[in-house]
Each structure stands twice: as structure tokens, then as C-alpha cells.
Amino acid sequence: MTTTRKRTEAEEITPHPTIEPQGRITRNPGMPLDMDWVRQARVNRSAVERRAASIPTRRTVKKEWQAAWLLRAITCLDLTTLMGDDTPGNVLRLCAKARRPVRQELLDAMGVGGKGGMNLRVGAVCVYHNLVPVAVEALRGSGIPVAAVSTGFPAGQNPFEQKLQEIDASVKAGAAEVDIVISRAHVLTGNWSALYDEVRAFRAACGDAHMKTILATHELATLRNVGMASLVCMMAGADFIKTSTGKEPVNATLPVGVVMTRAIREYFERTGYKVGFKPAGGIRTAKQSLDWLILMKEELGNDWLNNSLFRIGASSVLSDIERQLSYFVTGHYAAAHYNPMV
């Protein structure tokens, strides 16, 4: 008797994700703060850590399936530069890379050149507010949105009115997405109504611009706080919840990802609204990007495997992804100068 090998769950992503149209998502309108729901949040830390530890070891994706997953990861990248020495020049180079994230000869060799290859682009370019106009102009006509960090990023210690003014200025400058930071003190002191009111006001200031709410999870003390803050921010109307600023000593980790994605799933099951998720900071290798994609697939399902609902906040990871794709095509790793970021 002959048998055919059953595909693993990891292989079920289409091998040509770049030509798949982005789905239209009904925006999360938020809801009144439900403290009974928030207080019910519980996290079994040891169970979460065991679950997170299993993600890099239980699934392996090889050959053409790995290449397909890596192409999908590229479409979910928020290419980011948030350094003190940022200049218009390096933002322009980052935007050029966002338009063409992988060398054309590699796309042609994988059969996703031509029209499909032309559609391969990142999810967004994320910069400080003062460089939003530079990025907007560089990306004009590409369909790639510009995201601006705001509300006193990264510490979030600016006066509240100033935070609202920052959001307004970024939106007026052309930012289609705004990555806001919450006041961690509201979480650490258990002032959930203040957190809700703050994020609700930020959402109103964003208008049509999508709001990604940065929790800065390393600074929230406990995984339960992470889960509770995730729920409150979604109730306040967050379009995405995001792990980190990238400036904390510890940024995106898989245990935090498990807690946050399960909060997203619970919110969807109760309200019917899908909220996006963005891990950011510390994701530097192609293998790590696959780990996060696997987490999304297993915890939230295929609906979240696109840049409408999933982003990876990183830049250096793109160089390693391109390096792995080069190995898939040629059998050799390309020298670093073939995969420059900026």
C-alpha cells in the first residue's frame, strides 16, 4: 500500500505569498472598559514558557517551503530606523530597500519575479516624526505606508497634551500609521481606567491613521500585567498591540508573544474584531522571523498571516532573510555587501 506524505502545518502557506492580495479588515472600534473581564486575566508563567520554548523546536520548514515563509515574513516587516544619528540620506536608502527588499535575480530564480516580484514589498517604513515627510515622499506611489513613533517614544514620559500634539503632527505630515507608547505607570499602579482613557484619546487623535500600541512589556513587571494591558488597549481601540519600543534591555520574547496573541484571540472571540500583533526589537535572524510566523499560525490562524494583522519591527533581519534566500537559489551564502540595508 502506498501512502502520500501529509503536509505539516508549517507547509500550508502558499509558496507565492507575495501575489496574495491583502485582506480588508474591519477596524477595531473599541468598547467600554470591562474591568470584570480584565481582572479575570490569569497567566500560568511556567506553562507559557514551556509553550514558547516548544515553538522553535517542534516545527521545521525546509527548502521551497522555507523560502515561501521567508517571502511572507518580508511582506510583514516594518523596516525601522530609530537612531539618534538618523539622517534624510539613510531614510531614503531604507525606503529604496523597502521598495525592492530582495534582489531581482533571486526573485526571478524562485519564479516570483515579474508582476509577482514587483508586488514584494515590506509592510511599512517606521521613522521618527521629523523624518516622516522624507519617507512619505520617497515612498510615494509604492503603496507602502509610513509609520511614525509618537507620544514621547520611547519612555512615554511627555505631558499628555504634548503627546496628542505629536500624534496630530505626524498624521498631518503624512503618517498612515502611528506607533504610540503607553504610560507604564498606569499598569504598574493598576490604574486601568487611566490607561484606557489615555489610549482612547490617542486613538481619537490618530483619526484614520492606524494605531499600534506599544506596551513596552519588559517594563510591566509580570506576564499578567502584559495580558491585562493588552485587553485594556484593545478595548480602547488599538488596531495593533506591539511588544516593545526596541529600546528596552529585553524586547520581543516568545513568552510575551504567547500572552499577547492569546489576549488577541480572546478579544476576537468575544467581540468579533481582529486586532493585529507586532513583535519588535531583538529579531535579527531569518530563523527568528519564522518562529514568530509559526506562533501566529498556531495561536491565531492563517487570517493573521498577512501585514494587515501582523508586523515584525526590525531592519537587520531583512539582510539575513535575503542571505537565506540566496542560499536557497544558489546553494551558497552571498557576501554581506550583496545584501546591504542602507
pLDDT at 22: 47
pLDDT digits (tens, 9 = 90+) for 50-65: 999 999 987 778 889 9
Q: Where are the domains of the chain?
A: 30-331
As a whole number of angstroms, the distance between CA 75 and CA 315 comes to: 13
Residue 336 has pLDDT above 80, yes or no: no
**274 catalytic residue (yes or no):** no
Residue 138 has pLDDT above 50, yes or no: yes
For 89, counting Cβ atoms within 10 Å of its Cβ (0-12 exposed, 13-18 middle, 19+ buried), the class is exposed
CATH of range 30-331; options 3.20.20.70, 1.10.1040.10, 3.90.550.10, 2.20.25.240: 3.20.20.70
Catalytic residue among 179, 239, 291, 320: 179
Catalytic residue among 97, 163, 212, 242: 242
Average pLDDT over residues 266-278: 98
**247 catalytic residue (yes or no):** no
Catalytic residue among 97, 212, 278, 297: 278
What is the sign, positive or negative, of the torsion defined by CA atoms of 263, 267, 272, 278? negative
pLDDT digits (tens, 9 = 90+) for 141-153: 999 999 999 999 9
Residue 8 has pLDDT above 60, yes or no: no
**242 catalytic residue (yes or no):** yes
- pTM of the full structure: 0.91
